[in-house]
Chain A
Amino acid sequence: MLALKSVSRHYGQASALDGLDLVVPDDSYVSLLGASGSGKTTLLRIIAGFEEPDTGTISLRGARLDGIPPHKRGVGFVFQNFALFPHLSVEDNVAFGLRYREERPVRDKAEVRERVQTILDLVGLEGLGRRSVGAISGGQKQRVALARTLIAEPKIVLLDEPLGALDANLRERMCDELHAIRQRLGISFLHVTGSETEALLMGDQVAVLADGAIAQMAPPDDLFRSPTSATVARHLNAFNIISGTVREGRLRSPVGALALPAGIAAPDGQPMSVALPYDGISVKPRRDEASDGISARFVTAEFKGPSMLSFFRAADGSLIQSLVHLSEPRPPRYEPDQVYALDFDPELLIAFPERAH
């Protein structure tokens, strides 16, 4: 189990991590979702020991990690840019840790060869051992980087946007393989990414990093079903976040007055945000101005494979997104600059009461 307790890291005035707590259980795949600049790389670097925190403790299986030099931590790291040793062949890259590590280096050449072979087979690089790392493709480099890390039998592997440098097809395949490889080896992976699809697809648990701390950590479906804060919901890129104030059982917001789900009893004047799922909106022809709900002007639409994402601009200028699965009988066509009524079932709303300022 990897445990971080109130870890902070500042660079000058800016703070990258601010009192972060995180637990990565043994034998699990945790993905860490964060926007760019959220400090997710800093977090990994602090766990690996390339940097130290300003405050807080890090422990792995009960032993303190902070203050220990990186090469004595037993933490594997897979870099976004792979960081392969350019002067060595694939085999030598993979064997590097076994040969030269400070503790328990493997001097027996036959053993090194055998273990390299085993791990190359595991990551699907049979027969490529003699190649120069300059002469292989991006996906293969990714596998070499993984094999190089795994052969050293780290207690945990940190992956820093490991799929970022790969093209989309390859990315999906690597996702499955990463999962399979981890399960066979039974060690924990902490996978950092900026892509919510990747995070939800990969993780047994997904942790959302925002404002220098973990906003929520839960299995993907729990996270999706019940995000605990507007921030988390925003990271999932599946909800319109609408903020306002409760008045007479409705949410008065800049985009209009919204009905709240039953069972939400909030006093008047309570500030509140709600998350409205992209796919929970039904678009109707415009209604008269005075009535409830959201009216918005159609801007543009994007096709995302089997679904279509439409963008509407509300009266206050904020964007509202609507997702329609194209399997529905009548794919919608909206007229540009036409105002539509965006209807939804209030029960789909997830409400986040906020503390009054």
Chain B
Amino acid sequence: MDLANQSNGAAIDREGALSPARKRARRDEVQALKLAAPGILWMTLFMVLPMIMVVYVSFWTQTTFAIEPTLTVDSWVRFLTSPTYLDSIVTTLFIWIVVLASTLVIGYPVALLIGLMIRNVTLQTALLVVCIIPFWTSFLIRVIAWRPTLGTEGAINSILINLGLIDTPFTSLLFSELAVVIGMTQIYCVFMVGPITFMLARIDHSIIEAARDLGAGFGKIFLRIILPLSLPGVVVGAIFVSVMVLGEFATAAALSGRKVNMLGNIIVSQVGSLKWAFASVAGVILTIIIAIVITTLLRIVNIRKEM
């Protein structure tokens, strides 16, 4: 009893002896937490909780039309032993790698031109805006616009036939993996171009000029100076593109004619047939893949240091 009282007294003393600076700092912290609280609450209730729910339900028992909260690994076993589902993992990874590569290969020269070659700031900004504008239009409309472009009687085939370059139209442009890759590349390229341009625009031109004065050719300057300095931009762009492509389902649904089934498509179709537990398993696997991809990419460069 005595002891408890003593320690209580000590605590009060310490509280009383808190310096004005500490009191102010503490008050500011409390104020900051109060301001952040609605955001924290919102994200916890409506993002973290649902995500936990996905993990939780992936261990529920799936019956034909319903799920019940009896814990089991049945859905996991069935998912991981089914070639269809395993295929979707492979497809997801395949599409991701190809789109990542194509956005980088197509986007990097654009970034090089806008960020480094053009020194007129107005033109630079204007071109960047032109590249970003499509981002503000409807995603689904941009996807659907590829149908009349790639189709057998679409724009590309019409133009090629009219130019006399081909006799019979390409039939495999649309409703194929190629269509999905083309569509995704077009939609997500901006997210690669933006960060790389940003990094390239920060390069000091005098470094490049100095290197040129020392007799370095473009190839050497690119490999030794430009590429390393733009690497953080590449990584940020890669993270953007990866996160969006891995969670995709609409482009595949609209342009592949159900031939390409990514994990996202599996989730949608399973939910459609009320197989919530399977959908959840696919969801957890998708989460794991995304987490691995992001941590790997972050290993490449220390973004916080570079930005």
| A binding-site residues for B, Cβ under 8 Å | 9, 51-55, 66-67
Contact = CB atoms under 8 A, between A and B. Distances in A.
Contacts, number: 19
Contacts of B20: 52-54, 66-67
Contacts of A67: 20, 23
A54 B23 contact: no
A51 B19 contact: no
Contacts of B21: 9, 51-54
Contacts of B22: 54
Which of B19, B22, B23 has its CB near the most chain A CB atoms (within 10 A)? B19
B255 to A, nearest CB: 49
A50 to B, nearest CB: 10
Nearest to B22: A54
Nearest to B25: A52
Contacts of A54: 19-22
Given A51-B21, A54-B21, A67-B23, 16 more contacts: A9-B21, A51-B24, A52-B19, A52-B20, A52-B21, A52-B23, A52-B24, A53-B19, A53-B20, A53-B21, A54-B19, A54-B20, A54-B22, A55-B19, A66-B20, A67-B20
9 contacts: A9-B21, A51-B21, A51-B24, A52-B19, A52-B20, A52-B23, A54-B19, A54-B21, A55-B19
Contacts of A66: 20
A259 to B, nearest CB: 50
B304 to A, nearest CB: 21
Nearest to A66: B20
A53 B21 CA distance: 5
A6 to B, nearest CB: 12
Question: Top 5 closest A-B pairs, CB basis?
Answer: A52-B20, A52-B24, A54-B19, A52-B21, A54-B21
A9 B24 CA distance: 13
Nearest to B24: A52
Interface string B17-46: 001111110000000000000000000000
Contacts of A55: 19
Contacts of B23: 52, 67
Nearest to B19: A54
A345 B292 CA distance: 80
Contacts of B24: 51-52
A52 B26 CA distance: 12
Nearest to B20: A52
Which of A9, A51, A52, A66 has its CB near the most chain B CB atoms (within 10 A)? A52
Contacts of B19: 52-55
Nearest to A49: B24
A53 B25 CA distance: 11
